[in-house]
Amino acid sequence: MKNKKKRKNDYRHIKSYKDLCHEKMHLAYRTRYTEKQLQIKFLELGYSLHPARLIPNLLVEWARPMLWDFLSRVKSYLFGTKRKSHQKQTSKDKDE
């Protein structure tokens, strides 16, 4: 919403009955628009909190960090980044 200064009379522009009718329609449309926005937000919230979608989404969010950690461990084991450095150290220790 816009930050407007509070004026004593927000309806100074109304000079006739026709202006009053226009303002009334404007306020009615604004109210309907706000209600529709609220309904859309409610539907979006209901959609995201539906158990059929909520549980898989939560599992994906929780499992993703564990999966990346697991993949990095598998990569390090398969490609031997830690193992090779460990083997080099043990071979140096044996040589000494």
What tokens appear for 29 in the block?
Answer: 């449309």
Q: What is the pLDDT of residues 34-71, one digit of tens each?
A: 999 999 999 999 888 888 888 888 888 888 888 899 99
Q: Band of the pLDDT at 31, cuts 50, 70, 90?
A: very high
What DSSP letter does each residue of 8-30 carry, written as one string? S-TTTT--SHHHHHHHHHHHHHH
**Per-residue pLDDT, 35:** 98
What tokens appear for 13 in the block?
Answer: 């522009």
CB 47 within 8 A of CB 53: yes
**Single pTM value for the model:** 0.46
**Per-residue pLDDT, 4:** 60
φ, ψ of residue 20 in degrees (nearest 5): -65, -45
**Per-residue pLDDT, 20:** 93
**Per-residue pLDDT, 89:** 59
- C-alpha–C-alpha distance, residues 54 and 50, integer Å: 6
**Per-residue pLDDT, 44:** 92
